[in-house]
Amino acid sequence: MRGQGKPMEGTYIKRRNRPLQVYAVLFLIVLYVPVLFIPLFSFNDSLYVRFPMQGMTLKWYHELWLREPLWNAMWNSVRVGAAVSVISTILGMVAARAITRYRMPGRSALVTFIMMPLVIPGIIFGVALLVLMSRMGVPLSLYTVGLGHLIVCMPFAVATLLPRFEGFDPSMEEASADLGENGWWTFWRVTFPMVFPGVVASLLLSFTISFDEFIMAFFLTGTDPTLPMYIWGQLRFPKEFPSVLALSALILLVSFVLVFIAQWVGRKGLENEN
Partner 1 sequence: MTKTDAFISIQNVSKFFGTFRAIDDISMDIGRGEFFSLLGPSGCGKTTLLRMLAGFESTTAGEIFIDNQPTSDVPPHHRPVNMVFQNYAIFPHLNVRDNITYGLRKQKLSRSKRYEMAEEMLEMIKLPDYGTRKATELSGGQRQRIALARALILRPKVLLLDEPLGALDKQLREQMQLELRALQRQIGITFVFVTHDQEEALTLSDRIAVMSGGKVLQVDTPTGLYETPKTSVVARFIGNMNFFDGTVRRNGAAAAAIETEGLGTIQVPVADLDKPDGAAVQVALRPEKIALSATRPDAAEHAVSARLDTSAYLGERSHFYVNLEGRDEPVAVSQPNTSRFNAANQAPSGTEVWLSWSSDAIVVLDPE
Question: Given the rule CB under 8 A, which residues bind partner 1?
Answer: 169, 171-172, 174-182, 185, 189-190, 193-194, 272-273
Among residues 188 and 237, whose Cβ is nearest to partner 1?
A: 188
Residue 175: its H or E element: helix 170-178
Q: What is the DSSP string of 188-221?
A: IIIIHHHHHHHHHHHHHHHHHHHHH--HHHHHH-
Sequence-distant (≥ 6) Cβ neighbours of residue 250 within 8 angstroms: 61, 64
Among residues 108 and 171, whose Cβ is nearest to partner 1?
A: 171
Nearest to 199 by CA among 111, 99, 94: 94
- State whether the Cα torsion 221-224-226-231 is positive or negative: positive
Sequence-distant (≥ 6) Cβ neighbours of residue 14 within 8 angstroms: 7, 8
Among residues 9 and 178, whose Cβ is nearest to partner 1?
A: 178
Q: How far is the CB of 179 from partner 1 (least distance, A)?
A: 4
Among residues 185 and 237, whose Cβ is nearest to partner 1?
A: 185
d(Cα 172, Cα 201) in Å, to the nearest integer? 22
Among residues 58 and 177, whose Cβ is nearest to partner 1?
A: 177
Q: How far is the CB of 183 from partner 1 (least distance, A)?
A: 9
Q: How far is the CB of 168 from partner 1 (least distance, A)?
A: 9
Q: How far is the CB of 188 from partner 1 (least distance, A)?
A: 11
d(Cα 65, Cα 68) in Å, to the nearest integer? 8
Q: How far is the CB of 198 from partner 1 (least distance, A)?
A: 13
